[in-house]
Structure 1
Amino acid sequence: MSSVTSSSVSLPQGFIPVMLTPFLESGEVDYDGLKALTDLYLEAGAAGLFANCLSSEMYELSAEERLKVTKTVVAHTAGRVPVVATGTFGGPVVEQAQFVKRIYDTGVQAVIVITGLLAEEDDSDEIFIRRTKELISLTEDIPLGFYECPVPYKRLISSEVLAELLPSNRIIYHKDTCLDIEEVVRRIQVAEGYRFGLYDAYMVNAVASLNAGAAGLSCIQGNIYPELIVWICENYNNVERQEEVKLLQKFFVDSMDIVHSAYPIIAKYCLQKRGFPISTYTRREVGELTGNLQERADQLLEDVDRIQTELGIASVFRKTLEVPLK
């Protein structure tokens, strides 16, 4: 078990990708592919890694696969950056707490709590707060994070709810999906003075969130063009590059629709096209990667190449080393 205590933990600023899970065509997890993907995120400049999340198809993994995927990422990362991973999958709070401990024992820096699994959709904030405090009390000093995951339903944690839970000094990460920059600002304000980082998932608000004090970004776009997400995290407030920042922010807005189409298949397709050996096999039912979607994805990648050239960003993909898919 990690020796850090909640009072000494905070996550670095920057891009924390929501990791994909590569699969073999047989449907088994491709653990060698997962190690290679870990390296790819790190080469792109990721500040941390979020393993075993919705992009990882966590609900389609068995409990043992969730643990093994997380262990593999932690072991392969070997302390280069911190890793966080989801540790709650429904059921009574006592059961959720037990799995939080199992995930923490893999060596992650923090265990992520799915907000929609601690209370029913029509339950009050009071019920959510009570159950979250129960989970906190049952998990010793394990650092925790929140993920406003859209599945099973998206439960947003208001700044008022966050203010109730932060004094535990246990909440260090928040993957924000409220899509509301004014609420993002309020959340950042109530967290002032705590070891807490808000990582926005909504790229329409990327620059605005970073300027408001967000710790970084945790977005699905990083599974298609990670270099651009790292660049915006590093340059959003660079006074000499504000025109380029605006150009890139506009690109994030314009490409919003295509990156969410048949995701995560489309992300795996784009990685493949960029030269990374990954199968497009997914366990989640997310629709079909149609010919039209492929054409739009191809156009997206042309735009990415053009923007990276304009901004002087080196690609982490080695197209000359394309490997046949397993």
Structure 2
Amino acid sequence: MINKKIEGIVPVMLTPYKEDGSIDYASVERLIEWYIQNGSDALFAVCQSSEMYFLSLKERAELASFVVQHVQGRIPVVASGHISDDPYSQIQELQAAVASGADGIVLVSNHLDPRNQGKEVFLHNLQFLLDKLPNDLPLGIYECPAPYRRLISDEELMFLANSGRFTFMKDVSCDLATVTRRVKLTQGSGMVINNANAAIAWDAMKAGAKGFNGVNTNFHPDLYKWLYTKGNTNPEFAKELANFLVLSALSESYGYPVIAKMYHQRLGNFSTIKSRTYTGNIYEKVWAVEPILDKVIEGTEYFRTKIKAMA
């Protein structure tokens, strides 16, 4: 059994770009430091929030390596970049992630069953990859919504948990009953469930989910960290904070990941808000986006001040 676990507050990393569209590694470095300073327990590099479907294999490999090198072992780093349906291309992608030195490699569920054919196809393709990956390297499974959300069945989950190869799951079911059931199913297996849905974040934590792994870790990982580690000590304040985090997460619909990049540009972490995934003109929505972002920042600072006063 692999004992290393990825749990707690695990931000899904953004990818900043320069004006010419290339990856801005100076901004990546500032972002890494911001994540760590704000209580992150691990980092998930080269994921959907990283715009992995719009990065070349070379870019994905270099980005994962850069993150690992600059974290310098302070917290664990997991990486994916698993975007192909062809099994041999997947091997190339995952081996590039392995070569980065990441502490864990994340497989994407829909690429194990590209046509949604069911358990047999999923397990066959999974075993093909497991046979090619180092058996001492922790693995994760991610129910990435793109190109389609392929949820893991209970039987498939138990195969993963009992294999001894998987240490965590990024749950994208967005359903508290499912998260709760999965926590019970994997109890004692060495595999943990990390919820990614802000609407159920606090309830999922209370049900045994090991932290939070959603997109709003790009705004206030420290607030999720307080909720995860200290929420039970002050349930009334935890409820108030959880309600704010639910409302704040609605900002995603206003053009994520660009709205998160706008936030980091304000902080001085990013030089631009360029994105390869957001095809609309964010400035056409600026009348709505700026006030929404202002409210997220205002609420974040309010709760940070309250938490500091309680310390």
Q: Same fold (TM over 0.5)?
A: yes
The range that moved more, 174-183 or 120-129, is 120-129
Q: Secondary structure at the match of 1:235?
A: helix
Q: Does 1:287 align with 2:284?
A: no
* 1:173-252 correspondence runs (5 A): 173-238=168-233, 241-252=234-245
Contact 1:121–1:153 (CA under 8 A) maintained in structure 2: no
| Structure 2 counterpart of 1:264, from 257, 274, 289 | 257
TM superposition shift of 1:12? 4.6
Q: 1:81 aligns with which of 72, 75, 81?
A: 75
2:248 maps to amino acid: S
Q: Among residues 107, 111, 130, which one is paired with 1:136 in the alignment?
A: 130
RMSD: 1.8
Which of these residues, 91, 96, 106, is aligned with residue 102 of structure 1? 96
What secondary structure is seen at the aligned counterpart in 1 of 2:167?
strand
1:49 aligned residue: 43
> Residue 279 of structure 1: SS of its match in structure 2?
coil
Q: CA deviation at 1:310?
A: 2.1
Residue 275 (structure 1) shift: 4.3
Contact map agreement 1:114 1:149 (CA 8 A) in 2:
yes
1:124 match: 118
Please, which of 52, 55, 61 is the counterpart of residue 61 of structure 1?
A: 55
Unaligned runs of 5+ in 2: none
TM-score, structure 2 as length reference: 0.93
Query: Alpha-carbon deviations, 1:192-232, whole Å to 9, x = none?
Result: 22221211110111111111211211111111122212221
Give, in whole Å, the separation in 2 of the partners of 1:274 and 1:33: 11
The alignment partner of 1:199 has SS state of strand
Deviation at 1:94, TM superposition (A): 3.2
Q: In the TM superposition, what whole-angstrom CA distance separates every residue of 1:6-44 from its partner, at most 9, and x where no partner exists?
A: x34422531010000111111110111111111110011
Which moved further from structure 2: 255-264 or 32-41? 255-264
Q: Distance in 2 between matches of 1:304 and 1:143?
A: 34
Cα deviation digits, residues 149-169 of structure 1 (max 9, x gap): 111111011222201222211
2:247 is aligned to 254
1:110 is aligned with what amino acid? G
How far apart are the structure 1 equivalents of 2:210 and 2:114?
A: 29
The residue number in structure 2 matching 1:273 is 266
Greater shift, 163-172 or 176-185, is seen at: 163-172
Kept after mapping to 2: 8 A contact 1:70/1:103:
yes
Whether contact under 8 Å (2:257, 2:278) holds in the other structure is no
Structure-1 separation of matches of 2:155 and 2:232: 29
Match of 1:324 in 2: none
- Local SS of the residue matching 1:108: coil
Q: Is the 8 A contact 1:90 1:118 kept in 2?
A: no
Q: String of CA shifts for 1:136-195, please: whole Å, max 9, x gaps.
A: 122231321111111111101122220122221111121111011111111111212222
Rounded Cα–Cα distance in structure 1 between residues aligned with 2:85 and 2:309: 45
Equivalent pair of 1:94/1:138 in contact (CA under 8 Å)? no
**C-alpha distance in 2, partners of 1:213/1:24?**
40
- Matches of 2:7 and 2:85, distance apart in 1: 33
Separation in 2, partners of 1:73, 1:165: 27
Taking structure 1 as the reference length, the TM-score comes to 0.89
Residue identity over aligned pairs, in percent, reads 32
Counterpart AA for 1:312: K
User: Which ranges of structure 1 fall in alignment gaps of 5 or more residues?
Assistant: 1-6, 315-326
Q: Does the residue aligned with 1:268 lie in a helix, a strand or coil? A: helix
Question: Structure 2: how far apart are the matches of 1:101 and 1:34?
Answer: 22
Question: d(CA) in 2 for partners of 1:203 and 1:313?
Answer: 25
Q: Which amino acid aligns with 1:156?
A: L
CA offset at residue 56 of structure 1?
A: 0.6
Per-residue CA deviations over 1:102-126 (Å, capped at 9, x if unaligned) read: 2111111111111111112431122
Number of residue pairs aligned between Structure 1 and Structure 2? 306
- Structure 1 Cα separation of the partners of residues 142 and 9 of structure 2: 15
**C-alpha displacement at 1:236, in angstroms?**
2.5
1:72-118 deviation digits (Å, cap 9, x = unpaired): 00000001011000042213223312321221111111111111111
Tell me how far apart the structure 2 counterparts of residues 144 and 87 of structure 1 sit (CA, whole Å): 13
Counterpart AA for 1:237:
N
Shift of 1:235: 1.5
Aligned residue for 1:165?
160
